[in-house]
Amino acid sequence: MSLTRLLAISRKELLQLRRDARSLYLAFILPLVLLVLFGYAISFDIRNIRMAVLDQSRTPESRELIESFAGSGYFSVVEHLETPADADRALGSSAVRLVLIVPPTFSADLAAGRGAIVQALLDGADANSATIAQNYAEAIVSGYSTRAVARGRRVTLPVTAESRVWYNETLESRNMIVPGLIAVIMSIIAAMLTALTIAREWERGTMEQLAATPVHRLEIVIGKLVPYVAIGLFDVALALSVGVVLFGVPFRGNLLLLGLLSLLFLIGSLGLGIFISAAVKSQVLATQVAMLATFLPALLLSGFIFTLATMPIVLQGLSYVVSARYYVAVTKGILLKGVGASVLWQDALAMVVFAVAGLAMAIGVFRKELA
């Protein structure tokens, strides 16, 4: 392999890239747009849940419970109902997501030391939001009950649970989403960028010129890969900067380690793109295949949003051949937990395998000979 020929191929690819507005947009603008768009759009944090109240007790105790909901920051009391039939109307029209019903005997039950029951009706049409709202409501009622017991008996509760959340102290979903989002976006962009390279040569008829030169196919593949590796590293740095500055995601780990593991991930993803480009020889088809091969697996089987441990065994097995799975673990581990190579070595080893496999497939399928 000649370094001179390799650099010549890289320079040629840079010139073609500079003249291709679509590739420039894909390389520099689209990753930033996707990160900002999905970073704001995808959120598991639920605030200001609209709720209605049917207070049949109308006592200071019931008002204190309602104020506990309103002051929590999770619920917003938008309507006070008069009859139980109004609850069905409010939930059916989607005006509220939760209706709190306080029975007439609420205050009397508390004073007598009996268990006081309140009812929370939830709109289950959105199961995820309903589950989160139910957990919030149960926590608020539990806190109110604890305060009521402490005031009534004037004793210290025998058991007090104090929980602390590590790595994402405020439980902000952005801190979980943005690191994984970087991995998913780079997986898609990297493959789509190089999916156009070989196919572009065939469609423009310049493959005949390459076939007439003494350049080896290894030099062509690596030469075409080098510019996109540099672009990919720039995109990763840009995405990290946006994540830390704009979204406030903490960065607790080693930047050099993240850069090295990002390089391995990019080589594997870029190699997959060149493999697709050489196999299909059409820019349109190569783009579609690259999107299909990266977007759905990276989104569904990387652990970015959906927990892999809860998936069927077959899907868990398929996730091991998705390179984004390992890069998601790397970005979350380095950014949020600050872990090092002693923890991430298995993910690093997997990405080495994917990098070698990506290059091997690209070199193996590429042929200079004209059909």
Q: Of 61, 120, 59, which is closest to residue 87 (Cα–Cα)?
A: 120
Q: Which of 122, 153, 184 is the last residue of a domain?
A: 153
296 in a structural domain:
yes
Q: How many domains does the chain have?
A: 2
- Poorest-pLDDT segment among 122-131, 249-258, 345-354: 122-131
pLDDT digits (tens, 9 = 90+) for 170-188: 778 888 889 989 988 888 8
Tell me how far apart the alpha carbons of residues 253 and 27 are, in angstroms, rounded to a whole number: 26
304 in a structural domain:
yes
Bigger pLDDT: 256 vs 106: 256
Residue 70 has pLDDT above 70, yes or no: yes
| Confidence band of 153 (pLDDT split at 50, 70, 90) | very low
Bigger pLDDT: 128 vs 259: 259
Q: Which CATH number does the domain housing residue 107 bear?
A: 3.40.1710.10
Averaged over 324-352, what is the pLDDT?
Answer: 93
Whether residues 217 and 313 share a domain: the answer is: yes
pLDDT digits (tens, 9 = 90+) for 303-316: 888 888 888 999 99
Whether residues 227 and 178 share a domain: the answer is: yes
Whether residues 189 and 332 share a domain: the answer is: yes
Tell me how far apart the alpha carbons of residues 230 and 208 are, in angstroms, rounded to a whole number: 27
CA distances in angstroms from 50 to 82, 301, 350, listed in the order given: 17, 34, 46
Q: Domain limits at 236?
A: 3-42+172-365
- Tell me the two tokens of residue 123: 């709109």
Q: What share of the chain is helix, strand, coil (3-state, %, to 5)?
A: 65, 5, 25
Tell me how far apart the alpha carbons of residues 133 and 69 are, in angstroms, rounded to a whole number: 11
Residue 236 has pLDDT above 90, yes or no: yes
Write the DSSP symbol of residue 208.
H
Averaged over 340-364, what is the pLDDT?
Answer: 92
pLDDT digits (tens, 9 = 90+) for 214-229: 778 888 888 888 999 9
Whether residues 64 and 133 share a domain: the answer is: yes
Crossing angle of helices 283-300 and 255-280, rounded to 10° = 140
Q: Is the dihedral of CA 103, 107, 108, 110 positive or negative?
A: positive
| Confidence band of 155 (pLDDT split at 50, 70, 90) | very low
Averaged over 281-285, what is the pLDDT?
Answer: 83
Averaged over 240-265, what is the pLDDT?
Answer: 93
Residue 351 and residue 326 in contact, taking contact as beta carbons nearer than 8 Å: yes
158 in a structural domain:
no
- Tell me the two tokens of residue 132: 């989160």
160 in a structural domain:
no
Whether residues 183 and 200 share a domain: the answer is: yes
Whether residues 118 and 184 share a domain: the answer is: no
- Poorest-pLDDT segment among 71-80, 155-164, 182-191: 155-164
Crossing angle of helices 217-245 and 173-194, rounded to 10° = 160
Whether residues 196 and 290 share a domain: the answer is: yes
Tell me how far apart the alpha carbons of residues 61 and 111 are, in angstroms, rounded to a whole number: 10
Q: Any long-range contacts for 299-304 (C-beta under 8 Å, 24+ apart)?
A: 299/184, 301/325, 302/180, 302/183, 302/184, 302/187, 302/327, 302/328, 303/180, 303/328, 303/329, 304/177, 304/180, 304/181, 304/183, 304/184, 304/328
Q: Which of 90, 124, 153 is the last residue of a domain?
A: 153
- State the pLDDT at residue 40: 84
pLDDT digits (tens, 9 = 90+) for 103-152: 898 888 888 777 788 899 998 887 778 888 888 898 888 888 877 776 66
Computed over every residue of the chain, the mean pLDDT equals 85
